């Protein structure tokens, strides 16, 4: 603790009371929100912001400032109240909580500079915290990371994925704080106030675990100090609290979750009770927030060198991903890689071989992996997280929240589609494009050859925002010169004539089926246009519309289910021109078999393209 | 143990050796697969199938047979070998592993009667196991449930969600077995052979925990017996094993993950080593598998009574869901409900009030909830699992695997779209339809009023297969008579004339915007057709195509992002007729605000529909 306890404690207690008052006032004014979950956390937040953390209220994004993640995002009003207490937000603004024209939203959003990542989907904060703490290590910063959770959200498995990861990386700059108020939304939480049961879980996962009374300011400050002294292991503070604390008629009451106090008597009574809890302060007590001491450093990337492939080389795009990432990592120190125990399949191992200190392992835990990537991205790293595309479904809610935060993460899904073959349906991603393109701010790329993959990786790194790249398992021939440009939002017209009868649009492995179909149709004296749609989102609508108008038929072919993939993306793009799209896609749950057997059986082979062109 | 140890143990040891041999032989013949992960589990599987479990090899689906879930699905060959040893699969069929025309796929699929749920996405088996064990309680059966996991997959948070749930429900009929071989796909596992660290986690989550040598048959049998004797708490057996056990050159070797032994010398050497491990058996030793003793009982549902609403009543579809589910539960004892601590928002609490014994709580753990639903469905229950639609993203990989298993689960997502209002983006589902419709065998329903919701719940229960129902937060007026039929795959034409200028297709809350637009346009003497597309998948293509042809313009309007929702579903349906679709949807990450404010700002209100009709 930075100053004499008996001077600072009364001041912090009064801050806690003011945080309660502002949280209640704002939610009452808004007519909705979660005042009681703010009340249970008031001492914890007051101690963190005004008794522990180093930050600059005028520059919340300072690269060496301590970080606070409000994982229990529904307690947003107390977050805003704390930043207001620090002088960052005008007090009057607090009363505009949840208004359409205010940035003080119902749950924290990084539209405001003091929020790194959006929260509100419970159980994600600690995952991000791991990434934020890993970033401190990457930039050799002394900033510390504090994650405030509710006890209810520790039922989420993602909490334990990140708990394991934090212990594995011995992240002693990371502190978890659980506001154990014992009440969920609809019932008491599973472990309620059984603090020993809570402790057993965290100790079981290798954390230094402290159990305290979360309304005792001295205990809170002592626990934070002990966490700071603890080396080689992350610390969790399990704070026993009372939901609705400070207001007699809400304390420990289940039916007060997510309810604002009514204007009038109800609010007045609460305010009176809270105000009566103010304590006398020492005349010379003054809370000063210590500032970060380290200086920001520049991280300027150099340009990545061009790939070096020969036309016709057989290389899986997943392997080209690893090659590209390793080179990118050498050009840009911000680039980090994350793996969930498939680095020998995604070729992330190529990056690890040259940049082992910037390659992070979540083991088989995709939420932990993507969550850590989100935290890293929120602090200026450029994380590439790769796994089988199918297993990004495990982290779909993190993908959703990454989009909401507009984070600079890059996800690479390998082993997409039926073309993986014998391993069967559980390993085949056939809905990953639907997941990624659903998010309006995700860039979605799907390279067909190694050159395009290399440039996709470079483009992903240059683009500020979330990117998904789809990779394939089978080897495919190089069809582009190494210096071919692949701008985001573009496509490549691979075959074209003045009398094309149809346009066939492929992506990834189906580009080669389309080229085969071209050759076969050519022998029947039928010309088709062939497009490699390597960028699904944004999409080159004008080229597609021009092709549709010139050839009268647009046919998409994709190693993906019919919904939400290439066909739908093209259809959305050409709809304004009144054009319709014929789709070849996978229409049923596939089974094990050889890749070429499956590609043909599920209707996306050259043979089916030829038949479709002939039929139309 | 059912017979004298010193008689049965040698026989079981030889079974374990035969399971190894058949696993190696099948993968070598297939040229791919995971023999070494089978070898580490051989004693565990042999003891379970031939020294512990009660089942009927001729009727693997017997409702009272003990259940085995191979959560480490890549060990599929040893599962097939065990059922072959039991006489269920001809030995010759084992050599057709991974062939397109064989049901012995790369990972277990319920196309075969002895697999309840598909595995291969790691960390899901225990979640299903919880549901399977809950079902035993539901039908008052004495069957026991055994889930075999790898140690690597215990990094998945879903394992800990289900571990918590099993402890909460005191599922002493559930046994987890962790094959701790210490090696993952690409590296050693996080905890490797630190058995104490493994034990701390499971003990921390409230399980009775046994640590054994997984290659010592006596220890395996003793542990299973102790688990059977243990009451009031689930048991986990942590079995220390060696990956590739039994073959000198694969034992404990990292680079043997997911590799078949080569035909020729490599295979011959392994076979010779394994065969040499056969031990002498007592002349009178005979393994007999005990059969289930309980008799199946019939569970015939009665018909659900019709809802009772008046036109114009204001009821949120989420509330109608709870009302319908409670009545359905009274008519059908197979129906169960699952909640993840939002039962007062989804109105699952209405079901719980009348059927508390059939309502299961996962707390805030959506993977645990959906996984348990999958297990329940696999054993004949009809589970309805409800949460905020946004949070089903947390369980998207379970949705994917439920589709792959073609399970009879019903998922209900409430609080969809921007129409939830002030809580902000993190609570708004704007990609859930993309997730659900991507799965080709999912039925996707999206009722606009209470009557349609009631019949959707009834239809979901009658339909055999996975169903997703989307519910809304705001109250909406009842627009249908209580006896109106709503067949899956239908739609309702709400407004129609001989000179409609366009067809506006809404679903859920946008139906009411379309009706408002109709009224406004009517005042301008413009007629439009209005369709309530309550069934997105399957979809009534012929009605949509007829409307498109009659009115020349199809306009969709949806409280969902532009990709993968109503617009895309309609576009796919009408594409064969060459029709294109104009889409009104949410195109950016939304913010907090009042529902009507957001509906208008994001372009899906009546005003925007009117403007679009006028523009076209």
Query: What tens digit of pLDDT does each residue of B57-89 get?
Result: 999 999 999 999 999 999 999 999 999 999 999
Least CB–CB distance from B155: residue in A363, A422, A597: A363
Q: How many helices (H) and strands (E) does chain A have?
A: 22, 19
CB of B453 within 8 Å of a chain A CB? The answer is no
What the block records as the tokens of A492 is 């490549």
CB of A571 within 8 Å of a chain B CB? The answer is yes
Instruction: Identify the closest residue of chain B to A344 by CA–CA distance.
Output: B186
Contact between B376 and B131 (Cβ < 8 Å): yes
Q: Check CB contact under 8 Å for A189 and B363.
A: yes
Least Cα separation, residue A516 to chain B (angstroms): 24
CB of B344 within 8 Å of a chain A CB? The answer is yes
Chosen for mutation from B366, B405, B429, B592 (greatest number of chain A CBs closer than 10 Å) is B592
Q: Check CB contact under 8 Å for B106 and A427.
A: yes
Least Cα separation, residue B303 to chain A (angstroms): 31
- Examine the residue annotation and report whether A366 is marked as an active-site residue of this protein: yes
Q: What is the pLDDT of residue B298?
A: 82
Residue A284, pLDDT above cutoff 80: no
* B161-187 residue pLDDT tens: 999 999 999 999 999 999 999 999 999
Which residues of chain B are under the pLDDT cut of 70? 1-6
Q: Check CB contact under 8 Å for A427 and B581.
A: no
Least Cα separation, residue A163 to chain B (angstroms): 10
Q: Check CB contact under 8 Å for B204 and A203.
A: yes
Beta partners for residue B82, in sequence order: none
Least CB–CB distance from A185: residue in B341, B393, B423: B341
Q: What is the pLDDT of residue B284?
A: 76
Closest-CA residue to A406 (of A464, A341, A353): A464
Contact between B531 and B448 (Cβ < 8 Å): no
Residue carrying the six token digits 């402790």? A199
Q: Which of A85, A156, A319, A366 is catalytic?
A: A366
Cα distances from A571 to residues A23, A501, A566, B165, B168, in angstroms, run 47, 19, 8, 44, 49
User: Inter-axis angle of helices B42-51 and B76-85, to 10 degrees?
Assistant: 30
Q: Check CB contact under 8 Å for A394 and B390.
A: no
Please tell me the distance from the alpha carbon of residue B108 to that of residue B55, in angstroms, as a whole number: 19
Please tell me the distance from the alpha carbon of residue B372 to that of residue B131, in angstroms, as a whole number: 4
Cα distances from A20 to residues A179, A259, B214, B462, in angstroms, run 15, 15, 55, 50
Least Cα separation, residue A35 to chain B (angstroms): 13
Please tell me the distance from the alpha carbon of residue A573 to that of residue A564, in angstroms, as a whole number: 13
Residues 379 through 398 of chain A touching chain B, CB cutoff 8 Å: 390-391, 393-394, 396-397
Q: In degrees rounded to 5, what are phi and psi of residue B149?
A: -115, 160
Neighboring chain B residues of A112 at a CB cutoff of 8 Å: none
* B421-476 residue pLDDT tens: 999 999 999 999 999 999 999 999 999 999 999 999 999 999 999 999 999 999 99
Least CB–CB distance from B152: residue in A158, A363, A598: A363
Q: What is the pLDDT of residue A341?
A: 96
- SS3 of B508, please? coil
Q: Check CB contact under 8 Å for B424 and A597.
A: no
Q: Check CB contact under 8 Å for B434 and A435.
A: yes
Start-to-end CA span in chain B (Å): 77
Pairing of strands B492-495, B527-532: antiparallel
Closest-CA residue to A576 (of B616, B35, B70): B616
Please tell me the distance from the alpha carbon of residue B10 to that of residue B131, in angstroms, as a whole number: 35
Helix (H) / strand (E) containing B607: helix B606-615
Buried b (16+ CB within 10 A) or exposed e, A4-34: eeeebbbbbbbbbbbbbbbbbbbbbbbebbb
Contact between B224 and B164 (Cβ < 8 Å): no
- SS3 of A531, please? strand
- SS3 of B14, please? helix
Q: Check CB contact under 8 Å for B121 and A394.
A: yes
Contact between B107 and B79 (Cβ < 8 Å): no
- What letter does residue A188 receive in the DSSP assignment? B
How many beta-carbon pairs below 8 A join chains A and B?
357
Sign (positive or negative) of CA dihedral A227, A228, A234, A236: positive
Instruction: Identify the closest residue of chain B to A34 by CA–CA distance.
Output: B423
- ipTM beyond 0.90? yes
Count Cβ atoms below 10 Å from residue A331 Cβ, excluding itself: 14
Residues 40 through 79 of chain B touching chain A, CB cutoff 8 Å: 73
Closest-CA residue to A52 (of A74, A71, A67, A32): A67
Q: Check CB contact under 8 Å for A583 and B568.
A: no
Residues 6+ apart with CB under 8 A from A76: A33, A34, A70, A97, A104, A105, A106, A107, A108, A120
User: Inter-axis angle of helices B510-523 and B606-615, to 10 degrees?
Assistant: 50
Q: Which of B52, B153, B161, B366 is catalytic?
A: B366
- What letter does residue A416 receive in the DSSP assignment? B
Please tell me whether the peptide bond between B538 and the residue prior to it is cis, using omega within 30 degrees of 0. Answer: yes
Residue A1, pLDDT above cutoff 60: no
CB of B594 within 8 Å of a chain A CB? The answer is yes
Pairing of strands A492-495, A467-470: unpaired
Q: Check CB contact under 8 Å for A349 and B567.
A: no
Average confidence (pLDDT) over A136-162: 98
Count Cβ atoms below 10 Å from residue A197 Cβ, excluding itself: 15
Please tell me the distance from the alpha carbon of residue B271 to that of residue A132, in angstroms, as a whole number: 51
Residue carrying the six token digits 């070598």? B28
Q: What is the pLDDT of residue A5?
A: 58
CB of B35 within 8 Å of a chain A CB? The answer is no
Classify residue A70 as left (phi > 0), alpha (psi -120 to 50) or beta: beta
Contact between B535 and B445 (Cβ < 8 Å): yes
Burial of A284 (0-12, 13-18, 19+ CB in 10 A): exposed
Beta partners for residue A493, in sequence order: A531
CB of B580 within 8 Å of a chain A CB? The answer is yes
CB of B549 within 8 Å of a chain A CB? The answer is no
- SS3 of A213, please? strand
- What letter does residue B492 receive in the DSSP assignment? E
Chosen for mutation from B76, B156, B194, B597 (greatest number of chain A CBs closer than 10 Å) is B156
Please tell me the distance from the alpha carbon of residue A398 to that of residue B399, in angstroms, as a whole number: 16
Least CB–CB distance from A201: residue in B152, B205, B438: B205
Least Cα separation, residue B413 to chain A (angstroms): 14
Q: What is the pLDDT of residue B5?
A: 58
Residue A527, pLDDT above cutoff 80: yes
How many angstroms from the chain centroid is the CA of residue A446? Answer: 20
Please tell me the distance from the alpha carbon of residue B53 to that of residue B42, in angstroms, as a whole number: 15
Neighboring chain A residues of B575 at a CB cutoff of 8 Å: 571, 580-583
Contact between B438 and B466 (Cβ < 8 Å): no
Least CB–CB distance from B588: residue in A118, A423, A440: A440
Q: What is the pLDDT of residue B3?
A: 46
Confidence band (pLDDT; 50, 70, 90) for A100? very high
Start-to-end CA span in chain A (Å): 77
Closest-CA residue to B363 (of A180, A244, A151, A371): A151
Least Cα separation, residue A274 to chain B (angstroms): 26
Q: Check CB contact under 8 Å for B580 and A583.
A: no
Please tell me the distance from the alpha carbon of residue B145 to that of residue B126, in angstroms, as a whole number: 10
Classify residue B430 as left (phi > 0), alpha (psi -120 to 50) or beta: alpha
- What letter does residue B198 receive in the DSSP assignment? H
| DSSP notation for A109-175 | -TTSTT-SS---STT-HHHHHHHHHHHHHHTT----EEEEEESGGGGSHHHHHHHHHHHHTT-TTEE
Neighboring chain B residues of A578 at a CB cutoff of 8 Å: 580
């Amino acid at each position: 603790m930075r100053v004499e306890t008996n001077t600072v404690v009364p001041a912090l207690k009064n801050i806690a009371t003011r945080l309660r008052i502002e949280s209640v006032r704002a939610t009452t004014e808004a007519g909705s929100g979660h005042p009681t979950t703010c009340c249970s956390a008031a001492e914890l937040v007051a101690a963190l912001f005004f008794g522990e953390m180093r930050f600059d209220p005028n520059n919340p994004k300072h690269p060496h400032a301590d970080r606070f993640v409000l994982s229990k995002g529904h307690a947003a009003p107390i977050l805003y109240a704390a930043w207001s207490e620090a002088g960052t937000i005008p007090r009057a603004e607090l009363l505009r909580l949840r208004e359409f024209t205010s940035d003080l939203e119902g749950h924290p959003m990084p539209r405001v500079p003091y929020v790194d990542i959006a929260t509100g989907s419970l159980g994600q904060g600690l995952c991000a915290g791991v990434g934020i703490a890993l970033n401190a290590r990457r930039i050799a910063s002394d900033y510390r990371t504090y994650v405030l959770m509710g006890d209810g959200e520790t039922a989420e498995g993602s909490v334990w994925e990140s708990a394991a990861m934090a212990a594995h990386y011995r992240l002693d700059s990371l502190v978890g704080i659980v506001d154990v108020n014992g009440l969920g939304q609809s019932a008491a939480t599973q472990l309620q106030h059984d603090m020993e049961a809570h402790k057993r879980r965290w100790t079981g996962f290798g954390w230094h675990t402290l159990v305290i009374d979360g309304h005792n300011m001295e205990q809170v400050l002592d626990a934070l100090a002990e966490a700071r002294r603890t080396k080689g292991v992350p610390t969790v503070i399990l704070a026993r609290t009372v939901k609705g604390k400070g207001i007699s008629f809400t304390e420990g009451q289940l039916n007060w979750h997510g309810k604002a106090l009514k204007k009038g008597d109800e609010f007045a009574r609460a305010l009176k009770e809270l105000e009566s809890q103010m304590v006398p302060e020492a005349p010379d007590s003054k809370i000063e927030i210590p500032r970060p001491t380290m200086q920001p450093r520049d991280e300027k990337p150099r340009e990545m060198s061009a790939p070096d492939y020969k036309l016709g080389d057989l290389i899986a795009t997943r392997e080209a991903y690893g090659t590209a990432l390793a080179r990118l990592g050498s050009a840009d120190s911000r680039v980090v890689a994350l793996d969930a125990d498939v680095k020998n399949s995604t070729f992330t191992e190529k990056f690890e071989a040259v940049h082992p200190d910037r390659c992070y392992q979540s083991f088989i835990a995709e939420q932990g992996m993507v969550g850590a990537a989100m935290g890293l991205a929120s602090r200026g790293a450029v994380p590439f997280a790769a796994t089988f595309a199918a297993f990004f479904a495990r982290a779909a809610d993190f993908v959703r929240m990454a989009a909401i935060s507009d984070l600079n993460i890059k996800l690479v899904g390998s082993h997409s589609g039926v073309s993986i073959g014998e391993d069967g349906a559980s390993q085949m991603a056939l809905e990953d494009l639907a997941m990624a393109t659903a998010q309006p701010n995700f860039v979605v790329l799907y390279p067909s050859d190694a050159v395009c993959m290399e440039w996709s990786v470079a483009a992903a790194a240059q683009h500020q925002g979330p990117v998904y790249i789809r990779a394939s398992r089978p080897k495919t021939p190089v069809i582009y010169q190494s210096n071919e440009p692949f701008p985001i939002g573009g496509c490549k017209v691979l075959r074209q004539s003045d009398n094309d009868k149809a346009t066939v649009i492929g992506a990834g492995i189906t580009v080669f089926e389309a080229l085969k179909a071209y050759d076969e149709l050519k022998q029947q004296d039928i010309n088709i246009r062939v497009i490699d749609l390597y960028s699904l989102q944004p999409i080159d609508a004008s080229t597609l519309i021009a092709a549709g108008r010139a050839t009268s038929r647009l046919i998409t072919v994709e190693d993906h289910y019919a919904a939400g993939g290439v066909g739908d993306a093209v259809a959305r793009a050409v709809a304004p021109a009144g054009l319709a799209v014929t789709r070849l896609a996978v229409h049923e749950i596939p089974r094990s078999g050889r890749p070429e057997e499956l590609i043909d059986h599920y209707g996306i082979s050259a043979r089916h393209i030829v038949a479709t062109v002939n039929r139309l």
